[in-house]
Chains A and B, each alone.
Chain A
């Protein structure tokens, strides 16, 4: 069997997702036996722009250069994979869609030649994305499972149940009971509840489950004393542009109970 040619790329982002791939210390050597990493600019000097069977892209589109790179990668790739919350949802950078320019203008870099700003947007705002590995950063087991599934010709399965499932399985104390604004019940798991295991509440980086009961969840948080605005803010923080329409409708609607 010829090994599939794989490229790892990063657009605007923190490189944490690419590091998650590299941090799979126990597996990475075996992975190299299964795939041919032909391009990985983050860790390698010489990289060949060519056809990729699988191209795994981190980060989001924030300037014109990102967009050109992404379009070229799409053209060159049979399978394009968005890895991590930025590529998937737009993550924290996309939050600027929800606020006025005057609130962040002072934080922007000075306009320099060569930098042409684009509103931060996830990959699928621009090109067709075949698969997504969610999370900020993604769980390394999930990265491995994804690679294995593709190699075996299986459809990679995205974990669909809420974070609470893994959190309870890890015998944790529920952080909602502690009075924390934890988004576990409405957030897709697969992260082995890594944050809540350490008593840090879930901020929803993997996106909402398609089964989230928003009215009940918001009512619960309001009962615990949280305000609608802070709930919405927390829900948007990591979900970027992927907050479901139904959730927006709920918050915009006449639900000021």
Chain B
């Protein structure tokens, strides 16, 4: 739509203004970098990739789908407040887009969380982690605004009405620019390490075993994946009135045995190898067959967080 510049030394003041009318969520560094509700813009960390992804603010860890009050079923009324997320990397933004594909039409709770939400990106010039591999995954432009870091200033690309509204609200921070954002601006250095993105014919390759042997099935990979959206549903009966029940959804993971357990105690993916491959095939094959795009965004968090550092990118690259 339009391009602007923002002086770097004005960024904190801009975010402070935004915080006056919206909740601001951004990467904050303590012992780790996590997305959280910002209390002071000075806490925001843009120099590292966030260890935990942003997804918990949209696809909630624990939420009530419906309640039964003893007489009738009640659907919770979800009134999303005005929220701005700042500091999303290209991978984080694409991950939201991929979750949208799977959930936004069919899932009321997810759709509600996506309302009144402005997404402001911070573009990487260089891969922030040694495990990044977004370069070969054909990520798209998906944001309301994107900040490109150019030393003393940011070039800000505004892509939507939502983004324009921020410019209109705080014009004192934005200067119109003639710069046209090009492919060169969007190039992220050192992020091209996944050489093979078509794994459809490699399912029976013996090299998967290299990962399986080291896999603890601890589900760190799926917990930290910004795209994974597997869940379980259970009924929570009130101890105070056993006629009252909340039907609750919680995050789950395909890496856990219990995830594919059904009535009669049958477990569909009892075998660690099947579970291990299922995640990677969902990310790089099954999702693509259904939605025409890879689910994986190449952020590398599943490797950074894996206790045994299983690097499936290396495994795939090495397959002959």
Residues of A within 8 A of B (CB): 27, 30-31, 34, 144, 147-148, 151-152, 160-162, 164-165, 168-169, 171, 173-174, 176-177, 184-186, 210-213, 215-217, 219-220
Contacts and interface: CB of A to CB of B under 8 A. Distances in A.
Contacts of B16: none
B253 A144 contact: no
> Is the contact region of chain B dominated by helix, strand, or loop, or is it mixed?
loop
A169 B219 CA distance: 10
A1 to B, nearest CB: 10
Given A162-B217, A165-B256, A174-B305, A31 B242 contact: no
Given A171-B52, A211-B257, A220 B217 contact: no
Contact of A34 (B215, B220, B242): B242
B294 interface: no
B297 to A, nearest CB: 19
Contacts, number: 83
A219 B213 CA distance: 11
Contacts of B215: 213, 216
Interface string B15-57: 0000000000000000110100000000000000000100010
Interface of B: 31-32, 34, 52, 56, 61, 213-220, 223-224, 237, 239-240, 242, 251, 253, 256-258, 272, 305, 307-308
Nearest to A170: B61
Nearest to A186: B216
Contacts of B307: 164, 174, 176-177, 185, 220
B152 to A, nearest CB: 34
B77 to A, nearest CB: 25
Q: Which of A31, A144, A161, A185: most chain B Cβ within 10 A?
A: A161
Nearest to B234: A157
A161 B34 contact: no
Nearest to B52: A171
A211 B219 contact: no
A92 B159 CA distance: 61
Contact of B223 (A31, A147, A168, A211): A168
Contact of B253 (A148, A165, A184): A165
A171 B27 CA distance: 13
Contacts of A174: 220, 305, 307
25 contacts: A27-B239, A30-B240, A31-B239, A148-B239, A148-B242, A151-B242, A152-B237, A152-B242, A160-B258, A161-B256, A161-B257, A162-B217, A164-B220, A165-B256, A168-B219, A168-B223, A168-B305, A169-B61, A169-B223, A185-B216, A186-B216, A213-B216, A216-B308, A220-B307, A220-B308
